[in-house]
Structures are given as C-alpha cells and as structure tokens.
Structure 1
Amino acid sequence: MTATGTGEGAPALVGRRPVLVTGGAGFIGSNIADRLARDGHDVLVYDALARPGVERNLAWLQGTHSARISVVKADVRDDAALADAARDAAAVFHLAAQVAVTTSLADPASDFDINVRSTFRLLEALRRRDRPAPLVFASTNKVYGDLADVALESTNRAYLPRDPNIRRYGISEQRPLDFHTPYGCSKGAADQYVLDYARSFGVPTVVLRMSCIYGQRQMGTEDQGWVAHFAISALEDRPVSIFGDGSQVRDVMDVSDAVEAYLAAWQRIGSVGGRAFNLGGGPANAISLRDLLDHLGGLTGRPVRTEYLDWRSGDQRWFVADARAARAALGLRAPVPWRRGVDALARWLQAERGLDALAAAPLAGVA
C-alpha cells in the first residue's frame, strides 16, 4: 500500500513495521530506500521535498516500488510528524540535513535547528519507545575540521600528506574532532548526540562519517555534491567555479558502496552499536578536482571550462578516509574504482537530462 502523509502523521501499514528513511527522497536516501524495497522491506520516506529535483527521485521510487514505499511530506523540524513517523519504525536511517557549509554561514540558526535539534528530537522519540529502534546516522568528514595541522606537499595537481602513514591509509577515527563552520558544528554535535544516546540510554546507533559520495540520483550543486555538479557542468558545457587551486583531494565513493555500508551497519547493530566509522573510497579512490575535470573532459571530448575563486571557509585541502575499520567491522567489499563509477554517473545524467551522446568510447574496459 502506498500512502502520502502531509506532516500530520505517518501512514499506517497494517501489520508491518516500515524502515524510516529521513531525507528519503534525497540522493543517498533514495538509493537506500530503493535497496530496502528491493530487499522486501516496507519503507517510510520522510522528506520535505525542499531540494530542487528530489521530487523526481520520489516519483521514481513510487513508480518502481508502489507496494513498498509510503511517504510523509514533512520537515524534520515538525516534532509531532517526526515522532509519529518513528513510532513504529523497525529501523531509522537518518539522512535529512542541512548539507551546505555556505548555507550554514548565511543562516546558522536554521542549520542548528535542522541538524542538531531535529536529530535530538528523533533520538528522544526512539528513547521513549519500549524497545528503541536502531538508528544509522549520516555524519561527515567535516567533524575533523580543516586539517590545517596535516603537513602537505603539492605536485601541482594534488596535495599529498608528508606523513607516509597518513598518505598510505588516510584519516582514521582516532583523529580528534575539531568543528569548523556552523555546518561542522551542527553535524558534529549531532554526531556526538547519536553516539551518546547509545552510551547513556542504550539506543542502538551507528555513525558513518562520510567523505565524498557520488552516483545516480545525485542533484549536484556548487555547494554540495561536487562530483555530480562537475559532471553536469561538463555535459552541458557550462563553466565550473573552483574555490582554491583545484589541487585539493578527496576520496570519492560510489553510492552503491555507501548503501552497502548503511545496510551492514543496521544488520550488524549488535556488534557495532555505539561506534563511529569513517566511510569513503580510501586512498585508491583519492582524486583532486583537477583529476576529475580532466577525466570529464575526456568523456565529453572538450576541456571543462573553469574559473578560479578564493578558498572557502573551513575547506580541507586534503581529506582521505581511512575506512579500514568500517571494512572490517561491516564486512564491506572493495569500493568501485572511481573512473568506472564516474563514467556510470555521467551516462545516467546524460539519460536523465536528455543530453547529447558523450564523445567517449563505451565503458567496457574502463578500470
């Protein structure tokens, strides 16, 4: 049965306990909801549909899984609607958030309300249940701050750490937290609340501190979702604004790998509850902005037009997640190689946006 809420309460699924996905029409949320429905779970998508384009994700979910997807259209700041949605949930994947550093600087009060207060209210709703449902929380690498103390060297294409262990493995969960910008503070505070509700109240929770996730159903913008934003700009021959020098490095991860991690965290909640894990593509998938631009230029057959602007507040020149703990504890497979994943994203965007054929050769043989 498919039903749509209005913020006045979640639709009842008689005899069923749905899995709640907040932000379930968004990029990662819609991919998690799709996987859950394909695995036979009933899914309650909770989303305000505030981000442009996510209504297409929701329509796709409902069209693909009409018997499994139910919807509550509501803001996570609506305490009553959020508590009602969590009341009978078998598990909660909490992805609804304010996701842009720039927006947090412009409106820190809303950033706090969405990222901290709403997470707290959701945790409280779960705590008050006779048996709290597991919660898997989407955190961010921004909880580690700007990493300004990590000594770097530049190759003119990419920054690299001087420390050989950091260069080989990345940033681990042992790194001290250091919140920068209102976004870093709000996500970091929520991260710590989620962990403490496991410690203080026995709510089974897991935190995933994500690096850069990309893939199908991503509505990339200049402020968030940079891999898809670069790909869309390249396909449409629009200029890309580079904040900094383009040598900054991130480890990118295909969304299919992220979904595996989220579901494994739920499935293994008994052994991993109360822990935080870094999640990203790791050193093998660490690329600079310049690397991605060059690859997209090869796909489209023309250089990606760029303009360079000043660095943004709190931007990390280098971040690569040491995801060894997550791979071991969650039993994760090796991540999709970034070129193959980006090629698949570009072709999905081409079809989704009705663009002309790419200039590149078929994907066969791409590493």
Structure 2
Amino acid sequence: SSTNKVYGELAQLDVAQCDGRYALPAVPRGVPETAPLDFHSPYGCSKGAADQYVLDYRRIYGLRTIVFRQSCIYGPRQMGVEDQGWVAWFAICAALGWPITIYGDGRQVRDVLYVDDLVDLYYRAVEAEPRLLSTVFNVGGGSEQAVSLLEVIGMLEDELGRRVALRFADWRPGDQRVYVSDIDAARRAFAWSPRVSVREGLGALLAWVGEHRTVFEGAGAS
C-alpha cells in the first residue's frame, strides 16, 4: 500500500480551471504510473522509500509483491481527522454539525474510492498471475469518480437535507490542486472496476457515523 503522494506536486503538469473545479488537461484519464516520482514531503518520502523497497525485495528475494499507489480511500469505520482521511472527516463534521475548514478554495479535485472496491481489488491481487508481480498500479476512483471538495460538501448536504457550515483558510504547502489516478492498468490486469458511486459511498459513510455518534460526540471540532 503506497500513495499518490510519491508523485509530489505534479508541477510538470499545467492546471486549468473549468466547471468550478481544477483539471489537468494533459492527462484527462488521470496520472499514469509512468509519471516521475517526486518525494515531496516527509510522508511522501516514507511511502516512496517503502514503495521502492517492496519492488526491490521482489527482484532480489523473489517475494510476491505488487505496489498499489492509492488515492483517497473512504468508507465506514474510518476514523478520519482533519489531515488524514478527509472524506470521512467531512462526513463526521457534517453529520455532527461541526464546521468544516476548507484549505484553499475548495475547487481542488481528488478521485475517491470506496473501501469495498479496494478490498475487492486486494483479493484479486492475491491471486495475481506471476507476470503481474513487481508491478506498480495506481489505485483510486479514476476519472469517473473524481470530485472537488465543494462537490463532496454538496453531496453531503443533499444526503442530510441541510447546509453544512464552512470556513476557509489559506492553501497548505504541498497541496495538489488536482490528483486523479489513471486506473486503466489496474482495470486491465485484474478485470476490476470501482462499483460504488460517490453518492452511494457517502450515504453509507453518513449512516455509519449516525449509528456511532457517541464515538465522536465530545471530541468536537478544532
């Protein structure tokens, strides 16, 4: 399990703005596995080093390894916090009436993948053919499940039937305006595709938060 953070800020790709969100016109299907690595943060460095070690252990010791560079994974039982697990954090705040802080303008885009779809892919990888070992795959919702932060807020409001309190703060250093995974390689290799739509996934996540309100109440939002 690696991360899209190994690609850094993707400064080599021009960012455009259209339909109220950011986009990368040069890669309409998303960022491919051939994109240059750029271990831009301590988190990216730690994940990037592990990413490369796993590949080398396959080459040197023959371990059965595959690297999944994962985008935003979300779903029930995710104890999201403000700087990790943002989809779950948004759902928790929205359900409990806490304000959500948006760093930047909210038009930044991520592809999101529901946890059940990720687990399905892992099961398929366990049975992978030898030719797929020591291979890197970008894993996420892909271009079909790419959403801006404000679009996620809108979906949460639709599910809850009320507005969500927002506050805005400055951009954080190193934040990508856009990251969308090109998942075509994973689709072909594992005959896999995300099945759970963003709206379905958010609905399931909100239902879980609602069933476990006492876990979160009392913690409050910072």
User: TM-score band (shorter)?
Assistant: over 0.9
* 1:346 and 2:206 are equivalent in the alignment: yes
* Aligned residue in 1 for 2:13: 150
CA distance in 2, matches of 1:182, 1:269: 34
* 1:226 and 2:86 are equivalent in the alignment: yes
* Aligned residue in 2 for 1:326: 186
Partner AA of 2:5 in structure 1? K
Partner AA of 2:201 in structure 1? G
Q: How is 1:266-277 mapped onto 2 (pairs within 5 angstroms)?
A: 266-268=126-128, 270-277=130-137
* 1:301 and 2:161 are equivalent in the alignment: yes
TM-fit CA distance, 1:156: 6.5
Contact 1:230 1:293 in 2 (8 A): yes
CA distance in 2, matches of 1:150, 1:207: 24
* Aligned residue in 1 for 2:42: 182
For the residue of structure 1 that corresponds to 2:49, the secondary structure is helix
* 1:203 and 2:63 are equivalent in the alignment: yes
Contact 1:214 1:252 in 2 (8 A): yes
For the residue of structure 2 that corresponds to 1:186, the secondary structure is helix
* 1:172 and 2:32 are equivalent in the alignment: yes
TM-fit CA distance, 1:171: 0.6
Larger relative contact order, structure 1 or 2 (CA cutoff 8 Å, min sep 6) = 2
* Aligned residue in 2 for 1:255: 115
CA distance in 2, matches of 1:149, 1:199: 30
Partner AA of 1:317 in structure 2? R
CA distance in 2, matches of 1:306, 1:333: 33
* 1:162 and 2:18 are equivalent in the alignment: no
Q: Tell me the TM-score normalised to structure 2 length.
A: 0.92
Contact 1:157 1:291 in 2 (8 A): no
* 1:291 and 2:151 are equivalent in the alignment: yes
Q: How many residues align?
A: 215
Partner AA of 1:157 in structure 2? G
Q: Structure 1: where are the runs of 5+ without partners? A: 1-137, 356-367
For the residue of structure 2 that corresponds to 1:207, the secondary structure is strand
Partner AA of 2:136 in structure 1? A
Coordinate RMSD, CA, aligned = 1.5
Q: How is 1:1-367 mapped onto 2 (pairs within 5 angstroms)?
A: 138-155=1-18, 157-163=20-26, 166-167=27-28, 169-268=29-128, 270-353=130-213
TM-fit CA distance, 1:197: 0.9
Contact 2:113 2:194 in 1 (8 A): no
Task: Note the alpha carbon deviations across 1:167-214, whole angstroms, 9 max, x for none.
Answer: 2x1011011111101110110011000011111221111110000011
CA distance in 2, matches of 1:233, 1:196: 41
Partner AA of 1:214 in structure 2? Y
CA distance in 1, matches of 2:141, 2:95: 24
Contact 2:105 2:168 in 1 (8 A): yes
Q: Tell me the TM-score normalised to structure 1 length.
A: 0.57
Identity among equivalent pairs (%): 49
TM-fit CA distance, 1:269: 5.2
CA distance in 2, matches of 1:153, 1:324: 23
Q: Could you list the runs of 4 or more consecutive aligned residues of structure 1 that deviate by over 3 angstroms after TM superposition?
A: none
CA distance in 2, matches of 1:295, 1:209: 26
For the residue of structure 2 that corresponds to 1:170, the secondary structure is coil
* Aligned residue in 2 for 1:126: none
